[in-house]
Amino acid sequence: MYSDWTGDCVKCFQWRLMLLHVIVLGLFTGVLMGQSVGPAVDDNNVLDVLDVTIDGPKARLVHEGGQDFVGFWDELDTSIYWKVRVVKGGVAKVFVSQAVPREYAGSEYAFVVGDQELRSKTVGTDEWASFEEKEIGEVRLEEGVIEVRMKPMRHVEPNLFMCLKAVRFEGDVVVEAVGEDDNFEPIKTGDSGYVRDGVRAYYPADVVDVAGYESLMMVEKLPIIQRFSEEEKTGEGDVRFEKNEGRYRATIDVPMGGNVYGGGEVTGPLERSGIKTKFWNSDNFAYVRDRGSRLYQTHPWMMVVREDGSAFGVIADSTWRGQVEVSEGMIVFTFDGEPFRVLVLEGDGPEDVLMKLGELTGKMKLPPKWALGYQQCRWSYEPDTKVMAIADEFRKRRLPCDVIWMDIDYMDEFRVFTFDKQKFGDPKGLNNYLNERGFKGVWMIDPGVKKDDESGYGVYESGTAKDVWVRDAKGEVYEGDVWPGACVFPDFTRADVREWWAGLYKDYMAQGVSGVWNDMNEPAVFSGPDYTMPMTNLHEGDDEISAGTHREYHNVYGFLMVRASREGMMRANPEKRPFVLTRSNYLGGQRYAATWTGDNKSTVEHMELSVPMTLTLGLSGQPFNGPDLGGFSEQLDGELWAKWIGFGTMFPFVRGHAMKGMNDKEPWAFGEVVEDVSRVALERRYRLMPYFYTVFEAASRTGLPIMRPMFMADAKDQSLRYEDRAFLVGQDLMVVPRWAEDVALPSGVWESVSLVGEMIDDEKYQADLKVRGGAIVPMGPVMQYTDERSLDELTLVVVLDERGEALGELYEDAGDGYGYQKGEYLRTTYRVVMNGRKDIRVWIEGREGRWKPIERKVVVEVWSDGEKRMGVIEREADLEGNGVFVELSGMKALAQ
């Protein structure tokens, strides 16, 4: 009765790809006409079959042609249902996505929501897997958890009903599936124990090769060094495993009073209780798909801070499609495919746990210093003369900036590793032009390689000759449409393919390219199901990675791509530190690339959301990240830009960006007043560059985040647990955005400081910057780019603690290259002690490394109660030994 099932599915699937491509190209055309762009299909308020419970003997979940659906639904006594949370109630239209050949159409079914029942009939389609959406009526949804059920009432043809793909509610409602527990069964915990001090590894009994467990997120294998008994598996933070057909689940209890954080790139608040995050890297323009529950990256990691301030972290070590849900005192990880390992990291506090995470999954490599500067981007600055004009405008207006970005339009018809001969005919000359003015150029490279049999495109020809492309379920080279049209995609699970990809960077970097932007690498495929490859595509693997389907390796596709990109850049420029920015990544990917939070919007909501998003990535092992300042999509007004840049220059990654068709978003684009606001914000960043570089270097050694939540100032302070508007940079600098009201502040001394003469209490846009009591924050002069000149004048911003003391650190090296790994750096610890009412003693408490700074003077600023008192030391060398006694003068009441 299901004859020719596979062939019919494939034919129908191909037709649907062509249709979706037309839709996407139509949307892109809208962009060129100044319209906004978004997903072709709204997948909010959708009940997917992966969340369904089958109630009866004759139906099952089917995966064919890159689609999931309920099939073989052959008897009247089998119904299906979802457990659904109605977050926002109201009246909603109901749409059913179903398929049945026309000769079998007309079967009756009931759609039941509480005491409401809609009756409908199946509608004929081309084949069993050619789905069409049909409106069946309206229901009223009340807030709370409800059951939504579908059941057949009459078959037109005995034992033939329909295939069901999804149910969608349309209206001013918010609905989400919450899953069903009944179809999971417990399984025993297998061989488990300690793999590091304070790190426990749990394996379900279904894992048969514990010693050979494959993990891409971990730096190295994790053999068990001490097994624990059955009795030791029953304490707090231990793991319970379950499974059903095709999925595995692990549950970890959250202790009473504990707060949960993490999950990587996520929307929503910093504290994650009551939130579900989906692990399926997705091109999610403006975060609208699935209401932002899945974005571009996967970080299967959560951290719990207990009531007493101690903490533990949980890693679910799987690359498969999955999710994590935090609810009812539990963290629940669920993944398709194979059984997975869970690691529990115990710590005295959040810092201890995060350092353990860095030890296991790797730490960010120290970037070149120029990557810490302000960066300007647009889709796209074209032609090359426009790029030069933007750079010149920054210098003319004295607006500090280090990087100009080249988006996709620089390429020859979107062929990666090429340059448009008309618009960018001399890329090396352009990069030289930028370098001479203190700029670096970062250029985009996507994974999709244009299928081109006619023009002599070397990348496609060499890749085809080496047979590097991903193949579909039939073993044919997979083709999917992206910007160039038909594309093929490297299989990065293969070592030889990564080697080939890395080799492409030699000639490319020789054009003077300073940094690389790997975009669209989820991978995004316009013509693919769910805007990516079919899950049934095949990956061959290598000695390190087992062969598998795209369902298993989708979430690490971008991770493996940037691994190869970084390797290629290092070979091409062995004396320079590479800078790679990626849109898609995976836990552990901080070893290879920085990231940003994707295609956000120019709205107040996304401005405020940028803080918890950046914080959560930092709490998930990725210190070098930030949002597009001002928002990527939609029109931006000067007021919002001023608010955003007023605190946004304190993010780890600082880039202004704008989408094609949107208004100009450079700092001068909004008039003189906003330009002045931008200049102050940028000058504050550049004055703080010595502190930022010091914090970055520490992050590269420890794995600790650069931008930190307020609760890391005092993990025992319950009032800080939910604060996600203000934040810390390192441990000594607090940033309070001007728009943030009633901010929860840690106890102790935190003193507001002025960096470039801004009047602290009169500021409308600039964030309130506070220095911790007992800290010394090193600063330099205002510069137009990071290496405009050496740190010839050092300023120490001092806030004394209750005992009249302060301590701080400054890290220095060449700013690029690898000499620092051979001891060519200088880490200096300064100490200040109040000597009297007007005098202080300043000295160097310790120095490490062989880097030799130039002779410089040191300005000491001591802040207290909004007032600054200053002293000057003409020679830093005088701070050696017993140091210098400094008389403070120049009292300035900045708070008035």
Q: What's the rounded mean pLDDT across residues 875-881? A: 94
Q: What is the pLDDT of residue 289?
A: 85
CATH number of the domain to which 705 belongs: 2.60.40.1180
pLDDT at 636 over 90: yes
Q: What percent of the chain has pLDDT over 70?
A: 93
Mark whether 208 and 334 lie in a shared domain: yes
Q: What's the rounded mean pLDDT across residues 519-532? A: 92
Mark whether 524 and 560 lie in a shared domain: yes
8 A C-beta contact, residue 733 and residue 717 = no
Which tens digits make up the pLDDT trace of 486-522? 999 999 999 999 999 999 999 999 999 999 999 999 9
Going by the DSSP 8-state scheme, the letter that residue 296 receives in this structure is S
> Distance between CA 225 and CA 539 in Å, rounded?
33
Q: What is the pLDDT of residue 61?
A: 81
Is 23 contained in some domain? no
Task: Specify the length of the chain in residues.
Answer: 896
Q: What is the pLDDT of residue 139?
A: 96
Of 123, 152, 177, at which residue does a domain stop?
177
Instruction: Give the closest residue to 843 by CA, choosing from 802, 798, 878.
Output: 878
Amino acid at 86: V
Q: 515-518 and 538-539 as β-strands: parallel, antiparallel, unpaired?
A: unpaired
pLDDT at 795 over 90: yes
8 A C-beta contact, residue 744 and residue 728 = no
Tell me the two tokens of residue 667.
């700092």
pLDDT at 814 over 90: yes
pLDDT at 159 over 60: yes
Which tens digits make up the pLDDT trace of 18-35? 333 333 334 443 333 333
Q: What's the rounded mean pLDDT across residues 473-477? A: 95
To the query of whether residue 519 is one of the catalytic residues in this protein, the response is: yes
Mark whether 106 and 231 lie in a shared domain: no
Mark whether 300 and 412 lie in a shared domain: no
Q: 276-279 and 322-327 as β-strands: parallel, antiparallel, unpaired?
A: antiparallel
pLDDT at 804 over 50: yes
pLDDT at 437 over 60: yes
Is 886 contained in some domain? yes
* Structural domains counted in the chain: 4
Which tens digits make up the pLDDT trace of 175-231? 888 765 557 899 999 999 999 999 999 999 999 899 999 999 999 999 999 998 766
Is 496 contained in some domain? yes
Is 224 contained in some domain? yes
Amino acid at 760: I
Q: What's the rounded mean pLDDT across residues 771-777? A: 98
Given 74, 384, 479, 522, which residue is catalytic?
522
pLDDT at 16 over 60: no
> Distance between CA 896 and CA 894 in Å, rounded?
6
CATH number of the domain to which 51 belongs: 2.60.120.260
Q: What is the pLDDT of residue 87?
A: 83
Please name the residue that has the structure tokens 């003015």: 437
Amino acid at 238: D
Mark whether 512 and 559 lie in a shared domain: yes
Q: Is 175 helix (H, G, I), strand (E, B) or coil?
A: strand
Q: What is the pLDDT of residue 234?
A: 54
pLDDT at 14 over 50: no
Confidence of residue 435 (pLDDT cuts 50, 70, 90): very high
pLDDT at 303 over 50: yes
E strand intervals along 640-705? 655-656
Mark whether 267 and 148 lie in a shared domain: no
Q: What's the rounded mean pLDDT across residues 700-726? A: 98
Instruction: Give the closest residue to 402 by CA, choosing from 377, 438, 444.
Output: 438
Mark whether 148 and 243 lie in a shared domain: no
Q: What is the pLDDT of residue 232?
A: 65
Q: What is the pLDDT of residue 183?
A: 74
**Domain range spanning residue 794?**
695-893
Is 746 contained in some domain? yes
Given 599, 628, 768, 812, which residue is catalytic?
599
pLDDT at 43 over 80: no
Of 177, 199, 219, at which residue does a domain stop?
177
Confidence of residue 1 (pLDDT cuts 50, 70, 90): very low
Confidence of residue 328 (pLDDT cuts 50, 70, 90): confident
This prediction has a pTM of: 0.89
Distances (CA, A) of 175 to 132, 151, 290, 294, 473: 21, 21, 10, 16, 34
The residue ranking higher by pLDDT, 149 or 530, is 149
Q: What is the pLDDT of residue 40?
A: 36
pLDDT at 8 over 50: no
The residue ranking higher by pLDDT, 52 or 341, is 341
> Distance between CA 145 and CA 277 in Å, rounded?
18
Which tens digits make up the pLDDT trace of 404-421? 999 999 999 999 999 999
Beta bridge partners of 382: none
Instruction: Give the closest residue to 578 by CA, choosing from 524, 628, 508.
Output: 508
Mark whether 154 and 214 lie in a shared domain: no
Given 68, 420, 452, 519, which residue is catalytic?
519
Q: What is the pLDDT of residue 358?
A: 98
Q: Where are the alpha helices (DSSP H) in 479-603?
A: 495-503, 505-509, 550-553, 557-572
Mark whether 47 and 95 lie in a shared domain: yes
Q: What is the pLDDT of residue 581?
A: 98
Confidence of residue 890 (pLDDT cuts 50, 70, 90): low
The residue ranking higher by pLDDT, 3 or 365, is 365
Reading phi first (left if > 0) and then psi (alpha if -120 to 50, else beta), residue 271 is in beta
pLDDT at 844 over 80: yes
pLDDT at 56 over 90: no
Q: Is 623 helix (H, G, I), strand (E, B) or coil?
A: coil
Mark whether 418 and 546 lie in a shared domain: yes
Give the chain's radius of gyration (CA, Å): 29
Q: What's the rounded mean pLDDT across residues 94-115? A: 94
CATH number of the domain to which 527 belongs: 3.20.20.80
Q: 226-227 and 193-196 as β-strands: parallel, antiparallel, unpaired?
A: antiparallel
Is 626 contained in some domain? yes
pLDDT at 2 over 70: no
Is 442 contained in some domain? yes
Is 17 contained in some domain? no
List the 193-196 sheet strands across, edge first: 226-227, 193-196, 199-202, 341-347, 311-317, 301-305, 259-262
Instruction: Give the closest residue to 642 by CA, choosing from 652, 660, 629.
Output: 629
Mark whether 647 and 731 lie in a shared domain: no
Identify the weakest region by mean pLDDT among 13-17, 152-156, 220-224, 236-240.
13-17
Instruction: Give the closest residue to 634 by CA, choosing from 647, 644, 624.
Output: 644
Identify the weakest region by mean pLDDT among 574-588, 767-781, 879-893.
879-893
Confidence of residue 115 (pLDDT cuts 50, 70, 90): confident
Q: What is the pLDDT of residue 745?
A: 97
Of 332, 359, 386, at which residue does a domain stop?
359
Q: Which residues have a Cβ under 8 Å from the Cβ of 586 and sit 6 or more positions away?
A: 216, 217, 281, 297, 298, 299, 319, 555, 556, 558, 559
Q: What is the pLDDT of residue 27?
A: 40
Tell me the two tokens of residue 872.
């000057």
Express the helix, strand and coil content of the chain in percent, nearest 5 each.
25, 30, 45
Identify the weakest region by mean pLDDT among 23-32, 115-124, 348-357.
23-32
Mark whether 162 and 195 lie in a shared domain: no
8 A C-beta contact, residue 368 and residue 402 = no
